[in-house]
Amino acid sequence: MAGPRITVVGSVNLDLVVRCEALPQPGETVTGASLERFPGGKGANQAVACSRLGAAVTFVGAVGRDPFADEALVGLREAGVELEFRGTDEPTGTALITVDSGGETTIVVSPGANRLVGGFDLAPSDAVLCQQEIPDEAVIAAWEQASGLFCLNAAPARRIPVDPDLAVVNRFELESLARTDGLVALTLGAEGAVLLEDGEEVARAVPPKVDAVDGTAAGDAFTACLLVSLLEGRDRDEALARACAAGALAASRLGAQPSLPTADEVDAILGA
């Protein structure tokens, strides 16, 4: 069976990471380890996640005309995602990340080209998936053009400008949802997730126990897996259980895109 067709309209970043003993205080300079560079951005992460889970994915975004662009897109290319991106005069989106020896981080995101996502003309697909690292106008345009299901992961937290069919939020992002007529998935970290319809709980799932080493992209894996599972026609309980398993797998591995699981890995951890 061919997988569902999903269009992701979202952000792509290059994550620049420096590990150091202790995070610098304002005005302080500390010496860190060698610079590490990883493709990231919630849009790109979720597009890669959907593709690993068996969907045919198109990613619509924007990058700069700079050497960071190719590096930021490498994960999408390796995952076989079709790319429709604008080259802009803004720099490619960048996240400047410092990590101390205890895993505490500081992150400054420079959206750059992600601020210019827009002006697209979406081909029909089974679903359109957005996050909030692009302008509201781009989210609204994607919502207006969506021919199938519209799913919004309301991260980072900001008042959402549309009424999605499916919204995915964590505890902090819940307040950004004024009200939606659709389904709302609320993620609760290691406790799992609940699915709400008209404010009423319609499903609840607990993730398999894992040794959590890095929560980065757990929400991205969850969102992608919930959407793909629902589009595959799985019932709500099964879709939510699979999404929780995907989030747990991502939390049990280091990094963002490298930690995103395949459908086979989700089957395996659920004992299917």
Catalytic positions are 220
Tell me if 24 contacts ligand ADP by CB under 6 A: no
**Judged by CB under 6 A, which of 10, 64, 112, 207 binds ligand ADP?**
207
- What are residue 15's DSSP bridge partners? 38, 95
Tell me if 10 contacts ligand ADP by CB under 6 A: no
- Applying the rule CB under 6 A, the residues between 125 and 154 that interact with ligand ADP are none
CA angle centred on 250, ends 23 and 107, rounded to 5°: 25
Smallest distance, Å, CB 26 to ligand ADP?
A: 27
* Phi and psi, residue 98, nearest 5°: -115, 140
Tell me if 196 contacts ligand ADP by CB under 6 A: no
Pick the closer one to ligand ADP by CB: 104 or 137: 104
Smallest distance, Å, CB 193 to ligand ADP?
A: 4
Round to whole Å and give the CA distance between 113 and 174: 27
**Judged by CB under 6 A, which of 112, 247, 255, 261 binds ligand ADP?**
247
* Phi and psi, residue 261, nearest 5°: -80, 160
Tell me if 219 contacts ligand ADP by CB under 6 A: yes
- The neighbour count for residue 228, using CB atoms within 10 Å, is 30
Burial class (CB in 10 A: 0-12, 13-18, 19+), 266: buried
- Which secondary structure element, helix H or strand E, spans residue 205, and what is its range? strand 200-205
The structure tokens listed for 168 are 């995915």
Size of the site for ligand ADP (CB under 6 A): 19
Tell me if 212 contacts ligand ADP by CB under 6 A: yes
Tell me if 170 contacts ligand ADP by CB under 6 A: yes
Pick the closer one to ligand ADP by CB: 161 or 215: 215
DSSP for residue 28: -
- The neighbour count for residue 1, using CB atoms within 10 Å, is 6
Strand, helix or coil at 32? coil
- The neighbour count for residue 77, using CB atoms within 10 Å, is 14
Tell me if 193 contacts ligand ADP by CB under 6 A: yes
Pick the closer one to ligand ADP by CB: 79 or 248: 248
| 20-28, 51-59, 139-147, 210-218 -> range binding ligand ADP (CB under 6 A) | 210-218
Tell me if 239 contacts ligand ADP by CB under 6 A: no
Tell me if 222 contacts ligand ADP by CB under 6 A: yes
- Residues 64, 113 contacting (CB under 8 angstroms): yes
Contact footprint for ligand ADP (CB under 6 A): 155, 170, 187-190, 192-193, 207, 210, 212, 215, 218-219, 222, 244, 247-248, 251
